[in-house]
Amino acid sequence: MYTSSLVNQLKPSETLAAAAKARELRSKGIDVLEFTVGEPDFITPQHIREAAKVAMDAGHTRYTAATGIQELKQAICDAFLRDHGVAWKPSQVTVSNGAKHCLHNVLVACCEPGDEVIIPTPYWVSYSALVELTGAKPVLVETTEKDGFFLTAEQLRQAITPRTRMLMLNSPSNPTGGVYPVAMLQALAEVVVEKDIIVLSDEIYDKLIYPGHEFRTFASFGEEVRKRTVIVNGVSKAYAMTGWRIGWTLAPENVTAAINKLQSQQTSNPCSVSQYAALAALNGPQECVAEMCHEFAKRRDYVVARLKAIPGLSFAEPGGAFYAFFNVSSYFGKPVGGGPAVSNATDFCTALLERAHVALVSGDAFGAPGYVRLSFAASMETLVRGLDAIEAFLAG
């Protein structure tokens, strides 16, 4: 049976593929130390779970408006103003089935076949695939570890052509954990206004910021910038609600109207019960977020210290999110883990999984050959065992 060329050209998500390999080994009774998936290991806070139960008992189990309930849209606006000092209206909000759904919505609503979308590398694995699904072309702009993996204003200016429609920006970053300095965001914003392009700002990790770093939403750099900005966010990372599948966009009215029209044909509504849980997350006590961030910070410090102590590794220290993205290329061409040499990051991850039973994700999936990603959204005990195993693997 015929299937579309656009879908045939898609590559499966490498992060999910790496997690699947780890599960396969685990099903055979092998104790795998897994650091592949970007998912908090905490259970959703109790007051949020209770709100879902109350919503079910109250009968909120039927269709809602296709783009989300009004109370949640208002809560999203209130939270954004509270946290970032920028005002949005509920009419500028679309609630969707997770941030990935939001990204797809924005790209389909804003991009035409032949348009160009600038993506700094390293980038989250789904960005380029979602761009290609619209018929637009991803334009990958390489950033470097030396510069913190941040796109500079000059790089952006040089990458813009008459076909450029959009810049996709992610801060804090998956996979690097980098938090863009405010001055760099300001410089990018000036180019965006000058060249009149859209910015899709993925801010899903905005509440996971570590000491010494400052988060600024891209929409905060003036009204002309906000007119050109679409924010993507959700409850998955900050509130440990990955499975609840609630994300949202904040966008100019015309873009929101286009997204709403698209989503009305895609899905009847985001999960009704999950919307009420998200409402409780945003309107309820925020101490749970601070507590989880504090735990992530301790893990981050431990991982950074361990990686620094291993010869031949280098990385830009993460200022947010829960990832360490480190360069392992100095070990290419050398025997590791008691086996033959590896020649690239994908081979490295395969060998690490098979020989040391530690699961990481290859940087090849993120547009950064030679690097690997470790998610430290895992218990300290697991991190200790995992880094011990990595160190022993590299010493062998």
Tell me: the pLDDT tens digits for 234-291?
999 999 999 999 999 999 999 999 999 999 999 999 999 999 999 999 999 999 999 9
Can you tell me the distance from the alpha carbon of 136 to that of 106, in angstroms, rounded to the nearest whole number? 13
Can you tell me the distance from the alpha carbon of 250 to that of 241, in angstroms, rounded to the nearest whole number? 20
| pLDDT beyond 90 at 25 | no
Residue carrying the six token digits 């996979």: 175
Q: How confident is the model at residue 10 (pLDDT cuts 50, 70, 90)?
A: confident
What percent of the chain has a predicted confidence (pLDDT) above 90?
A: 91
pLDDT tens by residue, 339-387: 999 999 999 999 999 999 999 999 998 999 999 999 999 999 999 999 9
The amino acid that residue 40 corresponds to is: P
Can you tell me the distance from the alpha carbon of 201 to that of 102, in angstroms, rounded to the nearest whole number? 11
| pLDDT beyond 80 at 18 | no
What percent of the chain has a predicted confidence (pLDDT) above 70?
A: 99
What is the mean predicted confidence (pLDDT) over 141-158? 98
Q: How confident is the model at residue 17 (pLDDT cuts 50, 70, 90)?
A: confident
pTM of the model: 0.95
Q: Which helix (H) or strand (E) holds 141?
A: strand 137-142
| pLDDT beyond 80 at 217 | yes
The amino acid that residue 41 corresponds to is: D
CA 282 to chain centre: 20
Better pLDDT: 396 or 81: 81
pLDDT tens by residue, 62-111: 999 999 999 999 999 999 999 999 999 999 999 999 999 999 999 999 99
Whether residue 250 contacts residue 92, with contact meaning beta carbons closer than 8 Å, is answered with yes
Q: How confident is the model at residue 22 (pLDDT cuts 50, 70, 90)?
A: confident
What is the mean predicted confidence (pLDDT) over 207-212? 98
Q: How confident is the model at residue 5 (pLDDT cuts 50, 70, 90)?
A: confident
pLDDT tens by residue, 303-352: 999 999 999 999 999 999 999 999 999 999 999 999 999 999 999 999 99
pLDDT tens by residue, 119-139: 999 999 899 999 999 999 999
| pLDDT beyond 90 at 232 | yes
| pLDDT beyond 90 at 28 | no
Buried b (16+ CB within 10 A) or exposed e, 278-304: bbbbbebebebbeebbebbbebbeebb
Whether residue 363 contacts residue 325, with contact meaning beta carbons closer than 8 Å, is answered with yes
Q: How confident is the model at residue 7 (pLDDT cuts 50, 70, 90)?
A: confident
Q: What is the mean pLDDT of the chain?
A: 96
Instruction: Give me the pLDDT at residue 274, please.
Output: 98
What is the mean predicted confidence (pLDDT) over 180-185? 98
Domains in the chain and their CATH numbers? 5-43+288-395 (3.90.1150.10), 48-283 (3.40.640.10)
